[in-house]
Chains A and B, each alone.
Chain A
Amino acid sequence: MRTKNTILFSLISTFFLIFLISIWKILATLQGLSINSFNIEIIFTFGLLISLAHLGIGDIIKSIYKSIIFSAIFVFCDGYLIQKLPIWYNVGVFLILYFFTNKISKYTFIGLKEEHSTQVILFDFLTLFGILFFSFVILFPFYMMLVTSFKTQIALLVNPLDFSINFGQDIKDLFKSYFVIFKSYKFGKYIVTSTIVSVGTVIITLLFAIPAAYAVARLNFFGKTFLSTSILIIYMFPAIVLVIPLYTIFSQLGLRNSIEGLLIVYTATTLPVAIYMLQGYFKSIPKELEEAAILDKLSWFGIITKIIIPLSIPAISSVALYVFMIAWNEFLFSLMFLDNPNSFTLSRAIQYLSGDAETPRQYLMAGSVVVTLPVLFIFVYFEKYLVSGLTAGSVKG
């Protein structure tokens, strides 16, 4: 049992080490270093040796010293194998090894005897592996988007793997792509359009949704159940089947290429979610408050503006942020309804930009950064509100 566990432990930890070092090597390659091989065999041998040595040495040396010694040996050998690499690369390798040896230091030779210890080890390492793997897989495209926007066409042609940013250069050269998209491609205007459309959608949606949600949450009327179920069903209905009829109607009414047209469609598509989310919250407000208000001869309008809205500011702001994000990210309708560059939204403008094969990719990426940053900023800043909203309504997508 112990032998089996020892072998498994060293194999799993070795694979984890290989994974860590490989990611580091990929990132280093993308900084323009010429690393042409992962040297997996060597890292494999080293990993096995380190984990076995760790078990063998046990408590004789303090674990900090142990980690430092292992890391130093590894860095030395690695540096010897692939020469001419800058110091920062080796420092990175050292830190990774230090992290790794620290992680394995909680496993002891005696501990491996325990029941299920293989599964515990597997679970622990899978969790660690998962965290790193998913962080890498998710953040890598965002990272590449950002770095590419700072490169020039020529630099990328010379070495397509060199994404290092030269901070020494002039600010104007560094942000050249951004200056170009704002100057030659009118991105400033598109930002304004996108903002007007998104904020407008939020305001109109709230104006329509708050009264409706209040009625669904509180009042008794014929057709109430029908209404609340149809809200959910409509929410499931696909935007793509609306496109052709709306296109024909909007063409005949002259609503294409207009902000009003987009506002109408965006409001209609976000209303069901907004009503659904708000009525859930309104139901949780104690009824007694309104009963007191009715005794005070407050009208329905007064109840909504003086009691319901002040009490549900968190829910309303969550719906607002949420609708903002949907409207800001929306692409299908803006593709269908806008064909005049003067009325483009950001998403549509980027798609238009990519339609021209001549457009350098760093401009495309700069545009992508411009459209992505506000959303990510809002999301990270208001995460608490948004996550509860996401689970309650789940953004359509």
Chain B
Amino acid sequence: MNDTLANTEKKTAYILTLPAVLLVFSIILFPIFANIWISFKEVELKDIRIPEPRAKKIVKSISDDPSKIKILYKLRNSSLIQEIRDVSFQDNFPKNFEIENLDPRCSFKKYNLKCEFGNWPAKYRENFQVIFATNDGSKIDKKKLKSIKPKLDGKSDNILLNTNFTLKNFKKVLFENEFVDLLLTTFYYTFFGTVGSIVFGILTAQMVNQKFYGRTFMRSVLLFPYVAPVVALAYTWELLLDPNSGTLNSLLLNYKIIETPINLLGQKYIEISILGFDFKLRLALTTVIMFEIWRYFPLAFLFILARLQAIPKELYEAADVDGASPFQKFFNITLPQITAVISILFMIRFIWNFNKFEDVFLLTGGASGTRTLPINVYQQGFAISDIGMGSAVSIVIVVLLLMFMFFYFKLLGKRVDEN
């Protein structure tokens, strides 16, 4: 009895979870494995279109004879690079039609024209012509004839499914792609974006955790950059920072703080001298990181605020009795209480920043020293149209991510053991 109950429970569980699991696996897990497959192939964007046999039907009347008609099929292979094998052709005609000239490749039975065209090489074109006459001499309705579409079929190799593999993509990614520069840029972007958003998150959470008028409103406002669509925000920032007529540059010029406009999103380096030391700051990258921090510190804020509100008040009351200063309270009570949340946040944000594509893409498109790994996936795959290369870069991203997760959990596991 119990056994059957457990069995039905199992069965129901599988039925209930199956749709979701299937969908997620086919759209998320399968592509990750497909990436591995594609990354070992030489595939370009144009190769992934499946070659199709096509026919354009042109109906022409024959002068002096309304009961006869000429039909011209413009046949072609849609692919410029691949052959189509065993092309077959079919078209239907009204019941009173008789064929005048039958091509040896074709047969006409039951008002159905069938042809076997054999193999079509790449770029193949042919003008195929048939003449019909009505057996009762009635007039032919050209429109109706045109509305019947021929059916074509053929076999072709799918370049993605053959078993020719190459290591070329990975060689290119690792040795010809300014790989070190790419890694460094991604790392700067990810690391400073993460740290910045956490620091601002702590500051704002500490701020909102105090009582003041309009506190709930402030909490909503702080989340605006996080919930608003990235497209709108990126273009607004671009407009604010534009060197020619952007608001920021106009303001700075107006107050005579700068003399020439600064191209914050288009300039790779800016020379800065602090205390006599000259160094080059990566300007566009810094701006993009600022945007990143601006957009994602709300998440850190929300997590940390939730944690702050859970800290027992007695701790602070006890500290007050001991005469602790606000800073002592912050460093000795608040900070230790939020380290766990910060370490989780660091991981989540690090991973997501590492994969961030939209923000950089919309702000700079990866130009002026802001090319990160995800941007490179897009550039290789769609701008240069090299799908194989794009996949190889994706694989590099996945491998780096797995490495990061591994080290993170190892480190975290050690910490837990020590306690």
Contact = CB atoms under 8 A, between A and B. Distances in A.
Given A116-B325, A271-B20, A144 B207 contact: no
Given A160-B247, A237-B28, A244-B390, A221 B9 contact: yes
B144 to A, nearest CB: 28
Nearest to A294: B5
A365 B239 contact: yes
A294 to B, nearest CB: 9
A122 B326 CA distance: 9
Nearest to B50: A252
Interface in A149-165: 156-157, 160-161
B250 A160 contact: yes
Given A119-B325, A157-B245, A248-B38, A397 B352 contact: yes
Contact of A244 (B219, B327, B394): B394
A347 B231 CA distance: 6
Contacts of A241: 31-32, 35, 355, 377, 394-395, 397-398
A85 to B, nearest CB: 15
A391 B300 CA distance: 10
Contacts of A156: 245
Interface string B1-40: 0000010011011111101110110111111101100100
Interface string A246-274: 11110110000000000011011101100
B348 A221 contact: no
Nearest to B19: A208
Interface string A366-397: 01110110011001100100110011001111
Nearest to B389: A244
Given A130-B203, A267-B23, A234 B227 contact: no
B231 A268 contact: no
Contacts of B364: none
Given A130-B203, A246-B31, A368 B387 contact: no
A58 interface: no
Contacts of B93: none
Nearest to B357: A240
A25 B379 CA distance: 43
Interface in B349-383: 351-352, 354-355, 357-358, 361-362, 374, 377-378, 381-382
A38 interface: yes
Interface in B325-359: 325-327, 348, 351-352, 354-355, 357-358
Interface in A132-149: 134-135, 137-139, 141-142, 144-145, 148
Interface string B402-414: 0001000000000
Contact of B210 (A127, A238, A265, A369): A127
B235 A350 contact: yes
A38 B255 contact: yes
B238 to A, nearest CB: 8
Contact of B236 (A29, A141, A267, A386): A141
Nearest to B14: A221
B108 interface: no
A214 B19 CA distance: 13
B352 A396 contact: yes
Contact of A375 (B158, B229, B326, B405): B229
A234 B28 contact: yes
B48 interface: yes
Contacts of A387: 219, 223, 302
A280 interface: no
Interface string A302-340: 000000000000000000000001001101100110000
A332 B358 CA distance: 6
A30 B23 contact: no
Given A212-B21, A244-B38, A130 B232 contact: no
A208 B351 contact: no
Contacts of A335: 361
B52 to A, nearest CB: 11
Contacts of A221: 9-10, 13-14
Contacts of A214: 16
Interface string A211-244: 1101110011110100100000010111111111
B212 A127 contact: yes
B306 interface: yes
A384 to B, nearest CB: 10
A42 interface: no
B227 to A, nearest CB: 5
B9 A350 contact: no
Contacts of A328: 229
A161 B247 contact: yes
B326 A123 contact: yes
Q: Tell me the dominant secondary structure on chain B's binding face.
A: helix
- Which interface residue of B43, B223, B294 has the most chain A CB atoms within 10 A? B223
A305 to B, nearest CB: 13
Nearest to A161: B250
B225 interface: yes
Given A130-B204, A372-B229, A396-B352, A246 B357 contact: no
Contacts of B210: 127
Nearest to B208: A131
B212 A131 contact: yes
B284 interface: no
Contact of A116 (B27, B250, B326): B326
Given A30-B247, A214-B16, A242-B32, A135 B221 contact: yes
A137 B133 CA distance: 79
A258 to B, nearest CB: 15
Contacts of A127: 207, 210, 212
Contacts of A365: 235-236, 239
Contacts of B35: 241, 244-245
A227 B303 CA distance: 25
- Which interface residue of B16, B302, B357, B387 has the most chain A CB atoms within 10 A? B16
A328 B232 CA distance: 12
A134 B301 CA distance: 12
Given A36-B255, A364-B239, A138 B225 contact: yes
Nearest to A362: B239
Nearest to A354: B235
Nearest to A380: B220
B163 interface: no
B204 A134 contact: yes
Interface of B: 6, 9-10, 12-17, 19-21, 23-24, 26-32, 34-35, 38, 43, 48-50, 158, 160, 203-204, 207, 210, 212, 218-233, 235-237, 239-240, 245-247, 250-251, 254-256, 294-296, 299, 302-303, 306, 323, 325-327, 348, 351-352, 354-355, 357-358, 361-362, 374, 377-378, 381-382, 387, 390-391, 394-395, 397-398, 401, 405
8 contacts: A137-B294, A157-B245, A220-B9, A236-B351, A238-B352, A242-B31, A245-B35, A252-B160
Which 7 pairs show the lowest CB-CB distances between chains A and B? Answer: A238-B355, A268-B27, A368-B232, A245-B31, A245-B34, A221-B13, A211-B16
Given A222-B10, A380-B220, 10 more contacts: A212-B21, A240-B378, A265-B27, A269-B28, A272-B24, A300-B12, A369-B232, A371-B232, A372-B229, A395-B299
